[in-house]
């Protein structure tokens, strides 16, 4: 009698191993999907915040009638040679140190008076990625 039960037990163990293998593959796929969802949520949050900061910078530029120095003061940023910049950490808090910044809002003056581009850059060690950009134009007439 025992010899007849041995093949059934072996078959049961093989089926059990296959089922465990199948469920472990499904679990690995689910964990990967949750990780991707978290990354997408982070990217979406950064894009939303970038849009808000870009619109704020564009509004300040218009309020300053295209003057980068006044725009930099309104934004609590710094004026560079041909642009104004505001630096942010990973939680989108304004910081003064560009070395530790994760994000930067940069207004670059165009050739025509009263026109500029607002760029939101994600700063990382490999490269600077533009998250969002918009053109901005004041009502200032060219002289």
pLDDT digits (tens, 9 = 90+) for 58-72: 999 999 988 889 999
Mean pLDDT (the chain) is 87
Give 81's pLDDT tier (boundaries 50, 70, 90). confident
Q: What is the pLDDT of residue 140?
A: 62
Percent of the chain residues topping a pLDDT of 90: 56
pLDDT per residue over 17-65, tens digit each? 999 999 999 999 999 999 899 989 988 998 999 999 999 999 999 999 8
Give the 3-state secondary structure of the chain: CHHHHHHHHHHHHHHHHHHHHHHHHHHHHHHHHHHHHHHHHHHHHHHHHHHHHHHHHHHHHHHCCCCHHHHHHHCCCEECCCEEEEEECCCCCEECCCCCCCEEEEEEECCCCCEEEEEEEEECCCCEEEEEEEEEECCCCCC
């Amino acid at each position: 009698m025992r010899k007849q039960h041995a093949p059934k037990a072996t078959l049961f163990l093989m089926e059990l191993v296959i089922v465990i293998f199948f469920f472990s593959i499904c679990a690995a796929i689910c964990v990967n999907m949750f990780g991707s969802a978290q990354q997408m949520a982070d990217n979406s949050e950064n894009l939303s915040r970038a849009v808000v900061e870009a619109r704020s910078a564009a509004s300040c530029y218009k309020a300053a009638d295209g003057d980068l120095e006044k725009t930099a003061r309104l934004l609590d940023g710094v004026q560079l040679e041909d642009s104004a910049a505001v630096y942010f950490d990973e939680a989108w808090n304004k910081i003064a140190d560009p070395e530790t910044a994760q994000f930067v809002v940069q207004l670059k003056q165009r050739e025509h008076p009263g026109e500029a581009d607002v760029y939101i850059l994600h700063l990382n060690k490999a490269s600077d990625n533009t998250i969002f950009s918009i053109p901005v134009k004041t009502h200032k007439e060219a002289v």
